[in-house]
Structure 1
Amino acid sequence: MTDEIDGRRQPTLQDVAKVVGLTANTVSRALNDRPGVNPATRALIKAEAERLGYVPNVHARSLVLGSRRTIGVIVTNISNPFFSDLVSEVELQAGEAGYTVMLLLSYESANREREAINMALRSGLDGLIAAPVRERSNAWDNVIRAGIPLVLVSREIPQIEADFFSTDNEAGIRLTTDAVLRMGAKDVVLVDEDMPFSTIRLRLEGFRRSLEAAGLPFDPRTQLALVPPPRSFRVAQSWQADDAYRVTSDLFDRGRRPDAFVVGDDYYALGLYRTLRERGIRVPEDVLVMGWGNHPFTRFMEPPLSTLLLPFQDVARQATRRLLDRIQGTASPEIVTHRIVPELVIRASSTR
């Protein structure tokens, strides 16, 4: 090996090559796990590169390969635990493949979403994973026309050709609704967002199917307590507990006395629990409650909340793998749609 480099500057590929006494081409092949390098030599080169603190110049690499090795993730906001967990898992999976992640937020605003998409297009990202705000917009068409690989998560846009991975919302709400029906519930109320998303539409359909399969009528005028949609500037999660508190309080004030509630998020159950406490209604003796999301606080509610464990890790892993395959040209040509059934978690709030 030759003399060490000047420690006051960032080591380059040529510096690594000089230290190990090999050509820059050989060092590059070894660091990128390309063939033609002896395993012992490859190990030596990687060890010396790490010791020297060598970091690849991603920008220079992108000029040569036509790739920034960066993917974009567009979600509504990261105060939603599902999206924060999903982004974390995408970052882990992408990082293992040598990609970095650019996070862009829409805050449930169509204008902010369009700005995020335009930023992604200007940045020359290799691909996008996104949970769209609206089911159709010209901005998403621009992504497709630009030839940027796109994978949607959680919310679907049926009109465009993009792979899609999500929790199976219809199957999930049927699991929770069927659970309270098996316990003898006859008057079940669904508490969920009033938003034009495929997730909400599928949950409504699953709720209707469960009631009808049990021989119960489905009447949206009496069996739904919909939480008002969020304003576009609201940064916090749209499913605030106080929203659920208001709509369920109003429900009881109008003389309704359901014997079961299924909710579209565990945060709604927090508001519902307050409504029930104020009226002296006991869970589960008087009313059964089923949540959605298995957030950490659900085990500590009184009584502990039955809920759904969402497969965010599987969704993120499969979406990221599909996007990387699209970027690298190894994906099958057909459009993939995969909905993963969540897992029912039974606790005291739904059992008698």
Structure 2
Amino acid sequence: MTGGRRTTLGDLATRLGLSVNTVSRALAGKDGVSERTRALVLDEARRVGYVAAAEPPAPERVRSRTVAVTIPSATHLFSSELIGAIEAGARAAGYSLDVFTTEESGEQEQAAARRMIDNDLAGAIVIPVRNRTEPWAEVLAAGIPLVLASREVPALPCDFVTVDNTAGAYAAVRHLLAQGCRTIVQFEEDLGISTIDHRREGYARAMAEVPDAVAHTILVPTRRFETAEPRWRATEAHRAGLALLDRRLDYDAIVAGDDYFALGALAALTERGVRVPEDVRLAGYGDHPYSAWLNPALTSVRIPARLIGELAVSLLLQRIAGETGPPVRRLIKPELITRRSSTG
């Protein structure tokens, strides 16, 4: 107590930077509060001499009518299509949408999760930063339903929706092998996330099925941590393509983990007088709108971003409504769009 006035529940919440509802649930021993938060609340209550019995009963939780989505970057086409589908589904169900951009930063991800807990949001659709379990375990412990999109974190017991990236990469490589290619270079971003791991798995599986196929992987330096510049640029893939040509490695195809990387590789090949597809065949990933307008038009794996968003928001709304049961794992089969860059 301070100056003779009894410390209130609101005072305690203000001191801790938490919502009144979170503090009330922690003091009452109710679920939906992480052990770390509960210990913090109890320690502060003892320190200031808070007496819970003097407070009127805390009201039952009133669910927020807001859901959240976290994305790694607002500049990538996948993110914009995903958000559009999620926003439409949430709005139709009477929910508003909060969008958090993490820029692949664990600190920004932690801040987004903390705001979700403090504001007692109804639920969230999350593209996690790399393979981090925290802080999303805390969000789940706070009783906020989560659906993971695009990137998987197996340790988190929540629903997950993505494209089958293993199948997508496998289809692209099998297509190149069917065109007679035998030495195929994979251009992939140097970043430890499940989508990239699964694409590399599909590439390796397809190459292993053909005895005389020779595999090479080029890890393209990531640009995602440079917040002052747009991410997903073709610049690094262009540099990697020129370096590959300087090695004078004998290869007849390149498969890229993103259409931007394919764009950079195509520019490098063209500058050095290497013809696509006559000398080297090329395939990308994502089927971005410009891919069909390149010269030659780019073969690419089409990712159904809107469908992923629609399924994710549908699963989230079911969980918000009280749906129970084991976590759902939905893999959507992608479509390989073949064009002249790989077919001649």
Please classify the TM superposition score into its range, dividing by the shorter chain length: 0.7 to 0.9
Unaligned runs of 5+ in 2: 1-58
Could you tell me which residue of structure 1 aligns to residue 320 of structure 2? Answer: 327
CA shift digits 1:158-203 (9 cap, x unpaired): 0110100001000000111111100000110111111110111111
Q: Pick the aligned partner of 2:126 from 95, 111, 130.
A: 130
> Conserved in 1, the CA contact under 8 Å of 2:187 and 2:254?
yes
Q: TM-score, normalised by structure 1?
A: 0.78
| 8 Å contact from structure 1 (residues 208, 218) kept in 2 | no
CA distance, structure 2, for counterparts of residue 311 and residue 332 of structure 1: 27
The runs of at least 4 consecutive aligned structure 1 residues that moved more than 6 Å come to none
SS in 2 for 1:339: strand
Q: Do the aligned residues in 2 keep the contact of 1:136 with 1:159 (CA within 8 Å)?
A: no
In the TM superposition, residue 231 of structure 1 has moved relative to its aligned partner by 5.2
Task: Report the alpha carbon displacement of residue 297 of structure 1 after superposing the two structures with TM.
Answer: 0.7
- Counterpart position of 1:302: 295
The 5 Å alignment of 1:251-270 reads 251-270=244-263
**Compared with structure 1, are the counterparts of its residues 216 and 323 closer, same or farther at alpha carbon in structure 2 (3 Å cutoff)?**
farther
The one of 268, 272, 284 equivalent to 1:275 is 268
* 2:133/2:156 contact within 8 Å kept: no
Aligned residues: 286
Following the alignment from structure 2 to structure 1, what is the Cα–Cα distance between the partners of residues 310 and 67? 14
Residues 101-141 of structure 1: per-residue CA shift (max 9 Å, x gap): 00011001111111111111112110010000121243111
Aligned to 2:163: 167
| Matched residue, 2:111 | 115
Which deviations, in whole Å up to 9, do the C-alpha atoms of 1:4-31 show, x marking residues without a partner?
xxxxxxxxxxxxxxxxxxxxxxxxxxxx
SS at structure 2 position matched to 1:291? strand
CA contact (8 A) 2:66 2:97 kept: yes
Query: CA 1:236/1:117 → structure 2, altered by over 3 Å: closer, same or farther?
Result: farther
In structure 1, the partner of 2:222 is 229
1:313 matched to 2:306? The reply is: yes
Over the matched positions of the two proteins, sequence identity in percent amounts to 37
Q: Could you list the runs of 5+ residues in structure 1 that have no partner in the other structure? A: 1-62
Conserved? CA contact 1:71–1:99, under 8 Å = yes
Q: Tell me the amino acid that sits aligned with residue 107 of structure 1.
A: E
Task: Say which of 319, 327, 331 aligns to 1:339.
Answer: 331
Please give the secondary structure, in 2, of the residue aligned with 1:108: coil
Give the corresponding residue for 2:4. none
Whether the aligned pair in 1 keeps the contact of 2:133 and 2:155 (CA below 8 Å) is no
Cα deviation for residue 233 of structure 1 reads: 3.7
Aligned alpha-carbon RMSD (Å): 1.6
Q: Secondary structure at the match of 2:161?
A: strand
CA distance in 1, matches of 2:93, 2:119: 20
- Cα distance change of structure 1 residues 237 and 210 upon mapping to structure 2, 3 Å threshold: farther
Is the alpha carbon distance of 1:124 and 1:133 closer, same or farther for their aligned partners in structure 2, counting shifts above 3 Å? same
In the TM superposition, what are the counterparts of 1:81-230 in structure 2 within 5 Å?
A: 81-216=77-212, 223-230=216-223
What code does the residue aligned with 1:350 have? S
Tell me the TM-score normalised to structure 2 length: 0.80
Q: Could you tell me how far apart the structure 1 residues matched to 2:228 and 2:68 are?
A: 20
